[in-house]
Amino acid sequence: MQDQRIGVAGSLESCDVLVMVILSAESRGMTLEIDSPSLASFGEEMKNTVMEIMETLGIPHAVIKVQDRGALDCTLRARTEAAAKRALAVPAGEKVSE
């Protein structure tokens, strides 16, 4: 059984975004999946935003899934931060380092 800490925030309502952050001892680096209607126009920005938040929160390794419903950047920022903080708040098992 892997020791995973999962945080989810946001919703699939229009103008919102559902972000899932998975922290696990096994994962190395950042794995980011983005599903968004604005991918062609804002894909790069969205990726940068998520990475920036992770860096600010001092998370070097995570799997992040973003299901976007047309969220503005400030919303993506908020949902990513909330999801990450929720994941961090899950009590860590012995195996989780850092």
Partner 1 sequence: MNRRRLRRTSLYIPGTNPGMLANAEVYGADSVILDLEDGVPVSEKDAARILVRNALQHIPYRRAEVTVRVNALSTPFGRDDFREIIPLAPDAVRLPKCESADDVREADAMMTEIELENGIEPGTVGIIAITESARGGRNLSEIAAESPRLIALNYGAEDYTADIGAVRTKEGRELDDIRAKVIVAARIAGVQALDSVFGDVNDLDGLYAEALRVRLLGFDGKSVIHPRQIPVVHRAFTPSDQEVGFARRVMAAFREASSRGAGVIALDGRMIDAPVVARAEKILALAEAAGCLPGER
Partner 2 sequence: MMSRSAGNRKTFSFTGEGKDIPSIGKKREKGKIVASLEEAFRLAEVRDGMTISFHHHLRDGDLVVNMALDVLAGMGIRDLVLAPSALFPVHESLLRHVRSGVIRSIEGSVNGPVGRAASEGLFSSPVILRSHGGRVRAMQAGELRVDVAVLAAPAADAMGNLSGISGPSACGSLGYAFSDAQYADRVIAVTDNLVHYPAVPFSIPQTLVDWVVPVESIGVPEKIVSGTLRVTRDPLRLIIAEQVAKVVEESGLFTGGFSMQAGAGGISLAASACIRERMKAAGIRGSFISGGITGQSVEMLEEGLFESLLDVQSFDLEAVASLASNRGHAEMSASFYANTASKGCVVDMLDVAVLGATQVDTDFNVNVNTESDGVLLHGIGGHMDTAAGAAVTVVVTPLFRGRMPMIVDRVLTVTTPGETVDVVVTERGVAVNPRRKDLLENLRGKGIPLMEIGDLKKMAEEFTGIPKTPSFGEKIIGIVEYRDGTVIDTIRQRI
> Given the rule CB under 8 A, which residues bind partner 1?
9-10, 13-16, 71-75, 77-79, 81-82, 85-86
Nearer to partner 1, 2 or 72 (CB): 72
Contact partner, 81, from partner 1, partner 2, none, Cβ < 5-8 Å per class: partner 1
Q: Which residues, in sequence order, are bridge partners of residue 20?
A: 8, 65
Distance of CA 56 to the CA centre of its chain: 13
Q: How far is the CB of 13 from partner 2 (least distance, A)?
A: 11
Query: Minimum distance between the CB of residue 88 and partner 1, rounded to whole angstroms?
Result: 11
Which of partner 1, partner 2, none lies near 40, with the C-beta cut-off 5 to 8 A by kind?
partner 2
Interatomic CA distance for residues 29 and 39, integer angstroms: 22
DSSP for 46-90, please give it.
HHHHHHHHHHHTT--SEEEEEEESS--HHHHHHHHHHHHHHHHHS
